[in-house]
């Protein structure tokens, strides 16, 4: 009996390695799906909880269509600078600012002593709008999902990116996009830059010629009947002066604070699909749409306001109409759609104080003065701080030289002063980043993912939770590592994805990684995202 049980086991043990060597386990799919069109929708300033709070008011074909796919309920940015330029770069490159180089919307350049805008490119001009410098992805240090799609198809795939903001079109498009279009609010036209083309295609010129804003002249912003606690309320109104033509610059500025801008943007995206025959060629095309007006309205009123609620419900309805248009041109069965956001947002300081969540408005000037004072006290009279923004203190390097002062010493005095200021949670120095001597904490890791040695400042600031650098108590902003700013939706819809709600932790860097894996592409050069295989068929 013993012989009969032992001998097969011995035989098995002897054969396993040989068997494994001859037949390595094959789990990867040999067949890669090729949708005709991939649509990536980014909503500028959209918290994950909006999908839950307002779901009862959503229509069947908008967010609910996407939520019938694979939805991740715990998707959080693992960096500390949750703003528009960095967020869009992150979603499409699959990596953070330390690698993709878009550290902020604007950063201070120590060499030129000027502020550098993330998509500024003096070698380009605007096309189709006001005279002026254009924009390009030259500051983006790695490539994007769209770039990999273009490379893999020998440039047969078309990549088009659309937004109201230049940075939210240029960065998603990547280096090889066929086009990035954004809104010129001075003229009410969609524009591009000479980086992409010398003049607008006929269909874009015709779209502009039709004056898309004109349809809203005389309209008021009244809450939808289904908007909770605000149904039918007047939320916005334009007061024209006697004889004032419409749409003029004043009207366009007003329109930019209403949810109607999403309708104009999605109408333009629909026209792009039709006129550029997206999803109708032999290769997979990519359309990146960033809906910007949600951010404008969120800044002005905060995430718990009736205007944000109404805008979110209208975004759902507008997306439903857009998806119907995609269905009638490309066929939704042949499309994949992904949804995410570049960042969330904090409540406004008035709301924060009312509900005792934190200090509310962050005293920026007080902190900067405290840092100056500490540096004067330690090293003598001078102008020690050369520049500062919401994330960094930039020290005056010529003053350091003049006083024969070690940078590390000055940084640590400045950081200590910052850290002891009201509303500051932590301050990290440039030397700490460069020498990997940060504390071992999740927060320090997030800060390190935001830090790029060539573009970042000398002291990095993390404000307390609910300490918001807003312009006043009723406006608000984002840009912190805290979850109200960092947690966003991540949804994949289409025949490659397994429907379900996934509670496993994931990050926005996984968007590009997942789509690249599902399309059988090389991952974008810097991608550190994880293909979310649990949701892939």
Q: Could you give the residue numbers annotated as active site? A: 84
- Least distance (Å) between residue 312 CB and Zn ion: 15
Nearer to Zn ion, 289 or 496 (CB): 289
Residue 172 and residue 325: Cα distance in Å, rounded?
22
- Least distance (Å) between residue 207 CB and Zn ion: 26
Nearest residue to Zn ion on Cβ basis: 295
Residue whose C-alpha is closest to residue 106's, from 122, 89, 85, 123: 85
Nearer to Zn ion, 295 or 318 (CB): 295
Nearer to Zn ion, 147 or 295 (CB): 295
- Least distance (Å) between residue 150 CB and Zn ion: 29
Q: Which residues contact 8 (CB under 8 A, 6 or more apart)?
A: none
Nearer to Zn ion, 105 or 124 (CB): 105
- Least distance (Å) between residue 88 CB and Zn ion: 12
- Least distance (Å) between residue 137 CB and Zn ion: 20
Question: Hey, what are 153's tokens?
Answer: 């198809």
Binding site for Zn ion (CB under 5 A): 295
**φ/ψ (deg, to 5) at 158:** -100, 140
**φ/ψ (deg, to 5) at 517:** -65, -45
Residue 378 and residue 223: Cα distance in Å, rounded?
57
- Least distance (Å) between residue 483 CB and Zn ion: 17
- Least distance (Å) between residue 480 CB and Zn ion: 12
Residue whose C-alpha is closest to residue 167's, from 111, 114, 107, 216: 107
Nearer to Zn ion, 146 or 508 (CB): 508
User: Residue 307 half-sphere exposure, CB side, CA atoms within 13 Å?
Assistant: 20
| 36 CB neighbour count, 10 Å cutoff | 18
Residue 68 and residue 50: Cα distance in Å, rounded?
16
Residue 187 and residue 270: Cα distance in Å, rounded?
21
Residue 189 and residue 294: Cα distance in Å, rounded?
19
Residue 497 and residue 342: Cα distance in Å, rounded?
22
Nearer to Zn ion, 89 or 374 (CB): 89
Nearer to Zn ion, 104 or 295 (CB): 295
Nearer to Zn ion, 291 or 459 (CB): 291
**φ/ψ (deg, to 5) at 371:** -70, -45
Element (H, E) at 462: strand 459-463
Radius of gyration of the chain (CA): 25
Question: Hey, what are 63's tokens?
Answer: 């967010």
Residue 352 and residue 368: Cα distance in Å, rounded?
23
How does 324-340 read in b/e, with b if 16+ C-beta sit within 10 Å? ebbeebbebebbbbbbb
- Least distance (Å) between residue 45 CB and Zn ion: 5
Helix axes 293-301 and 306-329, enclosed angle (nearest 10): 170
């Amino acid at each position: 009996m013993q012989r009969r049980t032992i001998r097969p086991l011995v035989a098995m043990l002897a054969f396993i390695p040989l068997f494994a060597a001859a037949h390595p386990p094959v789990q990867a799919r040999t067949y890669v799906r090729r949708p005709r069109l991939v649509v990536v929708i980014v909503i500028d300033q959209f918290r994950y909880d909006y999908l839950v709070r307002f779901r009862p008011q959503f229509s069947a074909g908008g967010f609910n269509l996407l939520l019938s796919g694979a939805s991740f309920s715990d998707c959080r940015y693992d960096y500390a600078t949750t703003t528009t330029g960095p967020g869009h770069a992150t979603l499409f490159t699959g990596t953070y600012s330390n690698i993709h180089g878009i550290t902020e919307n604007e950063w201070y350049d120590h060499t030129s002593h000027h502020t550098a805008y993330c998509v500024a490119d003096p070698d380009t001009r605007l096309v189709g709008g006001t005279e002026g410098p254009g924009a390009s992805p030259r500051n983006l240090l790695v490539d994007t999902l769209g770039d990999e799609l273009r490379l893999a198809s020998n440039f047969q795939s078309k990549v088009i990116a659309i937004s109201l903001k230049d940075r939210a079109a240029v960065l998603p498009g990547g280096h090889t996009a066929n086009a990035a279009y954004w809104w010129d609010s001075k003229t009410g036209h969609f524009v591009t830059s000479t980086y992409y083309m010398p003049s607008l295609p006929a269909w874009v010129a015709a779209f502009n010629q039709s004056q898309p804003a004109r349809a809203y002249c005389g309209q008021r912003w009244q809450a939808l009947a289904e908007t909770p606690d605000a149904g039918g309320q007047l939320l916005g109104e334009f007061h024209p002066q006697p004889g004032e033509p419409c749409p003029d610059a004043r009207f366009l500025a007003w329109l930019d604070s209403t949810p109607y801008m999403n309708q104009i943007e999605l109408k333009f995206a629909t026209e792009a699909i039709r006129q550029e025959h997206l999803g109708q060629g032999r290769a997979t095309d990519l359309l990146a749409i960033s809906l910007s007006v949600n951010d404008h309205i969120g800044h002005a009123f905060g995430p718990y306001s009736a205007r944000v609620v109404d805008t979110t419900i209208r975004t759902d309805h507008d997306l439903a109409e857009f998806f119907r248009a995609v269905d009638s041109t490309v066929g939704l069965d042949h499309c994949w759609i992904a949804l995410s956001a570049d960042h969330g947002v904090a409540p406004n300081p008035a709301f924060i104080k009312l509900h005792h969540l934190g200090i509310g408005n962050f005293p920026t000037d007080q902190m900067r003065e405290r840092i100056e004072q500490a540096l004067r006290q330690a090293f003598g009279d001078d102008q020690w701080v050369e520049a500062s923004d919401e994330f960094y203190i930039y020290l005056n390097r010529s003053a350091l030289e003049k006083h024969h002062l070690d940078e590390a010493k000055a940084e640590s005095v400045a950081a200590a002063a910052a850290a002891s200021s009201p509303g500051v949670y932590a301050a990290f120095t440039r030397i700490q980043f460069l020498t990997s001597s940060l504390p071992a904490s999740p927060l320090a890791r997030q800060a390190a993912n935001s830090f790029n040695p060539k573009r970042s400042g000398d002291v990095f600031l993390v404000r307390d939770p609910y300490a918001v650098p807003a312009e006043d108590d009723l406006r608000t902003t984002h840009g912190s590592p805290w979850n109200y700013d960092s947690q966003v939706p991540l949804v994949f819809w289409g025949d490659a994805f397994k429907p379900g709600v996934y509670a496993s932790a994931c990050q926005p860097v996984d968007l590009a990684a997942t789509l690249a894996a599902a399309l059988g592409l090389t991952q974008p050069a810097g991608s550190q995202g994880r293909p979310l295989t649990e949701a892939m068929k």
